[in-house]
Structure 1
Amino acid sequence: MPLVLLHAFPLSSAMWLAQREALAGECRVITPDLRGFGGSRLGDEDPSVDAMADDVARLLDDEGVERAVVGGLSMGGYVTMALCRRHPDRLMGAIFADTKASADTEAARANRERIAAAVLNGGAGVLLDDVLPTLIGTTTKQRRGMVVGRVRGLVQAAPPGAVAWAQRAMAGRPDSFETLRALDVPVLVVVGDEDELSPPSDAEAMAQAVPEAKLAVIEKAGHLSAIEQPEAFNAVVAEFVRSLR
């Protein structure tokens, strides 16, 4: 059974290292780089989560995969929702981790544009000053120095063009609650109990919108639950994948 995992902003597929290792015995794990991040091209299309979702559908074609379990964390979750909207026939299950179904508020959109403009003007420091601290939970900041260093490195590696494009794509994404209500595949919603960007209340709202959804709260994890608490994250994902067999 193929499992596609879509990474968070502004990281790359490298964030899934622990998942690739731990879940390889359960399923075929596919971890693409979303446009412009890691090893992928940005291209010249207008920013949209739909374009990223279409990329994932093309990747499935290239890999000879008809249907897969598709999961995404944060931005990867937005892309997964776009995939549910545009290519519902490609999913046999969906995982939404540390993400939300609501569209951005005006303030959130303005903040994304501020960060996009700053990064394009050479102010890569805005990612470390404004974005990095929100990605990891209190427990990780206090006790997991190695994890903080690793996330910092991934953030620093993000190409400015991809950062700005992705921010604008996320700012323009629609509300996805109708998409969730229309799903007819099993869904796993995962959230770190210390996630401040998309808190447990967002995860609960998503789980309630889906006819068949399971909610898993990862303790002592912030927004990057898969990196902060990989063993707990991998356990709930493995259980979910097994339940689909």
Structure 2
Amino acid sequence: MATPSAAPLTEGPHAFDVDGLALRYHVHGTGPVCVAVPGGPGIAWEYLRSEALEQRLTMVYLEPAGTGDSGRLATHPHGYTRDLYSRHLAELIDRLPVPRVHLLGHSHGGFVAQHHAILRPDQLAGVVLYESAPATGPEFGAEAARMVSELAERHADDPHLPAALQAFAEIPTISDDESTTRVARGIIPAYVASYWADPERWSELQNKIRATYISGLDEHGAPDPVDDRAALPTLRVPALVVAGRFDVICGVRWGEELNSLIPDSRLLILENSGHLGHLEEPEAFAEAVAAFVAS
């Protein structure tokens, strides 16, 4: 059992319990409160840290259930649905000494953030959908395949390309923490637009990524699909959509579709970024998010 934090927004690590499950989060920075949800599912929170944002906002980085140092469900690696993640988010937000927070979700964390904004808008002052998409499925997969093909054409002569493509090929075979971590590290060249010009700059990120295998199935072994296209036009939470021009997974096509579905949303295209714009264009990313929060 984790011990609840006495001061929920003090700098550093914190823990709280939900239904006997120990969840952890980390607080860094100062300013308005923004809760951040990492991607994957299963990628540990550290990669999502943004020092530029922390100079402007109080960032609360959640380690979702089953990820990093947070507890595992009895049905692990199954059962980590968006409904579960949203309920845990609600518990965390209720513990914070502010009436409402901004919520930032990256990649799969974006799927969670938009689901939470639809279900529990009264907890939120705004939502940042960072490299998210309105739906997954065959069309989503086909677009990713097209973007990876374009990436391969741009870097056909680069010696790092075969390993990156092999990592994508291994995604369907992921079955444990070791293979999840290996693939998460292996696809970094495809996720970072500037990797190819300076691979050494990104070696530390690759080596430090931690990942947990999460199946994407519910506790009964059924898929937990994403399709928010019908609900997003009813969203009444202010929204900022962020997409990297060269993101091969949740890129501009999906950012534009999110922006078209959500009433009065804002769209930021990071022109020199892939899937990790907060690291590739940190100031542009932080300025846009902070301006959105301030407004």
**How does the TM-score come out when normalised to structure 1?**
0.82
Q: Does 1:94 align with 2:119?
A: no
Structure 1 contact 81–179 (Cα < 8 Å) conserved: no
> Which protein has the bigger helix share?
1
* Cα 1:122/1:182, change in 2 over 3 Å: same
Q: Does 1:152 align with 2:206?
A: yes
Query: Percent identity among equivalent residues?
Result: 24
Given that residues 33 and 101 in structure 2 are in contact (C-alpha distance below 8 angstroms), is that contact kept between their aligned partners in structure 1? yes
Alignment gaps of 5+ in structure 1: none
Structure 2 counterpart of 1:31: 61
Deviations 1:95-140 (A, max 9, x none): 11111011222895xxx9x7475332854534444x4443222x23
Give the direction of change, closer, same or farther, for the CA distance of 1:154–1:66 in structure 2 (3 Å limit).
Answer: farther
* Matched letter for residue 241 of structure 2: V
Deviation at 1:37, TM superposition (A): 2.0
CA distance in 1, matches of 2:242, 2:251: 10
Q: How far apart are 1:209 and its partner, in Å?
A: 0.7
- Indicate conservation of the 8 Å contact 2:177/2:211, yes or no: no
| Cα distance between partner residues in 2 of 1:197 and 1:153 | 21
Q: Distance in 2 between matches of 1:120 and 1:196?
A: 24
Say whether residues 1:135 and 2:188 are aligned partners: no
In structure 1, the residue matched to 2:241 is 189
Query: TM-score if structure 2 supplies the norm length?
Result: 0.69
Equivalent of residue 8 in structure 1, options 23, 39, 62: 39
**How many residues align structurally?**
230
CA contact (8 A) 1:183 1:210 kept: yes
Are 1:199 and 2:251 an aligned pair?
yes
How far is 1:3 from its partner?
Answer: 0.9
Q: How far has the Cα of 1:198 moved from its partner?
A: 1.3
1:53 aligned onto 2:86: yes
- Secondary structure, in 3 states, of the residue corresponding to 1:3? strand
Per the alignment, in what secondary structure is the counterpart of residue 230 of structure 2?
helix
- The one-letter code matched in structure 2 to 1:242 is A
Structure 2 spans left out of the alignment, 5+ residues: 1-31, 142-167
Deviations 1:48-79 (A, max 9, x none): 12211111111112223432111111011011
For 2:17, the equivalent position in structure 1 comes to none
Q: Which amino acid aligns with 2:198?
A: R
| More divergent stretch after superposition (186-195 vs 29-38) | 29-38
Structure 1 position 199, deviation (Å): 1.7
In structure 2, do the counterparts of structure 1 residues 14 and 122 end up closer, same or farther at CA, with 3 Å as the change threshold?
closer
Asked whether 1:220 is paired with 2:220, we answer: no
Aligned-pair CA distance for 1:150:
3.4
1:5 Cα deviation after fit: 1.3
**After the TM superposition, which of the residue ranges 215-224 and 25-34 deviates more from structure 2?**
25-34
Of 272, 276, 282, which aligns to 1:230? 282
Q: Distance in 1 between matches of 2:177 and 2:245?
A: 35
Q: Residue 182 and residue 150 in structure 1: after superposition, are their counterparts in 2 closer, same or farther (change >3 A)?
A: farther
Determine the C-alpha separation between the residues in 2 that align with 1:13 and 1:107. Answer: 25
Q: Which segments of structure 1 move beyond 6 Å, counting only runs of 4 or more?
A: none
CA RMSD across the alignment: 2.7
Q: Distance in 2 between matches of 1:132 and 1:168?
A: 25
SS in 2 for 1:177: coil
With a CA cutoff of 8 Å and minimum separation of 6, indicate the structure with the bigger relative contact order. 1
CA distance in 2, matches of 1:239, 1:25: 13
Aligned partner of 1:142: which letter? Answer: A
User: What is the letter of the counterpart of residue 140 of structure 1?
Assistant: Y
Determine which of 214, 218, 223 is the counterpart of 1:164. 214
Work out whether residues 117 and 164 of structure 1, in 8 Å CA contact, stay in contact via their aligned partners in 2.
Answer: no
Q: Indicate which of 110, 116, 119 corresponds to 2:175.
A: 119
